[in-house]
A and B are shown apart, each in its own frame.
Chain A
């Protein structure tokens, strides 16, 4: 009998101690659970354009043209010259072309050709081209004829024709060839440095 009495008190005590021990170690028994995970990652693309090369027509004997740049012809003298170079801006993209015309004269004609490379991951299209002299800036957004004052006298010194390259989609890693024509006008002053820069503005193709 003594043994049975001891058993009746021992069993609940053992159960209580067990539950306390389980609670201490964090055991739960009231629910079942399942956890679902969602891992998302978004990476955005880059819009990048750069000039990869630029060249000009006058590499020896000069070229002349008429007003309006309708006809051009080569002459038998090498008098004027044009230097073109790509300018590397701080953002590491070659986004500007600098044109410097030396010893040029009225009727002098030049044609600038360049290749622009899509160095990003998003297709782009050209929306605007800026021509900048020390005295003015002009922007074009389509096939254009424009004049530039490069001497600050308020008169047009050169006329420029830009073809239709606006809105054309250029995919990543692809290039597009662009060109424009320059004609030195009668108002161009003597003994004057003539230079300007060309900057092209692109936007992502879907805009």
Chain B
């Protein structure tokens, strides 16, 4: 085993739901392919929608230049585990549908590939966040939710 991938889920606000996902990929190298699934489940009793999101990246040596996003797929999953594909671009879905019912999940499956441009002995970090509001408030916003 050369590269290692670890992740942890943390409930930082102690409300019974994990709200922080920390992913660490060590010793990556050219040609490495990583497939991941991020599952965001509405663990409350009110439908929610995405109000806003953002991210910050620290990448002094340009690791991102060597990362190729090969596949990204979003879908909704109902409480029985049945997949409901999102057939429009996720940005458009956020501006139009943007609803995750109680017990449902918004799932993202992705594959990344490290190319020959991957620098050696380098570290990059990303911190991303998604803010959810109750769905009915978002639908009143003229932007459809995104500020």
If over half of B's interface residues share one DSSP class (helix, strand or loop), that class is named, otherwise mixed; here it is strand
Partner of A45, one of B2, B24, B46: B2
- How many A-B residue pairs lie within 8 Å, measured between CB atoms? 124
A36, A39, A44, A122, most chain B CB atoms within 10 A: A44
Per-residue interface assignment for chain A, residues 18 to 47, with 1 indicating a CB less than 8 Å from any chain B CB and 0 otherwise: 000000000000111111111111111111
Closest to A34 in B: B132
Q: Cβ of B133: which chain A residues have Cβ within 8 Å of it?
A: 31-33
A34-B48, A41-B25 known; A204-B30 Cβ under 8 A: yes
Q: Cβ of A38: which chain B residues have Cβ within 8 Å of it?
A: 20-23, 38, 126-130
Number of A interface residues at 8 Å Cβ cutoff, please give it. 24
Q: Cβ of B27: which chain A residues have Cβ within 8 Å of it?
A: 43-45, 121-122
A33-B133, A44-B121 known; A39-B40 Cβ under 8 A: no
Question: Are B132 and A36 in contact, CB atoms less than 8 angstroms apart?
Answer: yes
A37-B127, A38-B38, A39-B125 known; A45-B120 Cβ under 8 A: yes
12 more A-B residue pairs beyond the given contacts A38-B38, A38-B130, A42-B67, with a C-beta to C-beta distance below 8 A:
A33-B134, A35-B129, A37-B129, A39-B126, A40-B25, A41-B24, A42-B25, A42-B125, A43-B27, A44-B66, A44-B118, A45-B29
Q: Interface on A for B, CB 8 Å cutoff?
A: 30-47, 121-123, 204, 206-207
The 25 sampled A-B contact pairs (Cβ below 8 Å) are A30-B137, A33-B51, A34-B48, A34-B131, A34-B132, A35-B129, A36-B40, A37-B127, A38-B126, A39-B20, A39-B21, A39-B125, A39-B128, A40-B24, A40-B127, A41-B126, A42-B124, A43-B122, A43-B123, A44-B27, A45-B120, A122-B2, A122-B27, A206-B29, A207-B30
